[in-house]
Amino acid sequence: RKEVEQDPGPFNVPEGATVAFNCTYSNSASQSFFWYRQDCRKEPKLLMSVYSSGNEDGRFTAQLNRASQYISLLIRDSKLSDSATYLCVVFRGGSQGNLIFGKGTKLSVKP
């Protein structure tokens, strides 16, 4: 089992749709969790951290289930500008070299 697994997609959705991305991680001792966004041929940028209680930022909601080792990202009312690849990122703890990036899920929002 890969350490951080994501559905690669692509997810093709119409504007206004709600879309959910899932991510699983294998190391139960993982400490911190994030979603990054990466536009085509650009650098990754932090979208949001993921907290145990769940957290929301506008149209974006992130949730963490430590028991199932599962992270999710929900995007409501999708915009064309949401088209990007979404990276699930997990910090295993310990040294700074322990930040693990998933391969990403590609989202394409169509008019």
Partner 1 sequence: NAGVTQTPKFRVLKTGQSMTLLCAQDMNHEYMYWYRQDPGMGLRLIHYSVGEGTTAKGEVPDGYNVSRLKKQNFLLGLESAAPSQTSVYFCASTRTGGGNQPQHFGDGTRLSIL
Contacting residues toward partner 1, per CB under 8 A: 4, 31-32, 34, 36, 41-46, 49, 87, 91-93, 95-104
Nearer to partner 1, 4 or 19 (CB): 4
Nearer to partner 1, 27 or 76 (CB): 27
CB of 17 to partner 1, least distance (A): 26
Q: Which two tokens stand for residue 49?
A: 């951290």
Query: Residues in the chain, how many?
Result: 111
CB of 22 to partner 1, least distance (A): 16
CB 23 within 8 A of CB 71: yes
Look at strands 105-110 and 70-75 and give their pairing: unpaired
Nearer to partner 1, 20 or 99 (CB): 99
- Burial label, 35 (beta-carbon count in 10 A; 0-12, 13-18, 19+): buried
CB of 26 to partner 1, least distance (A): 14
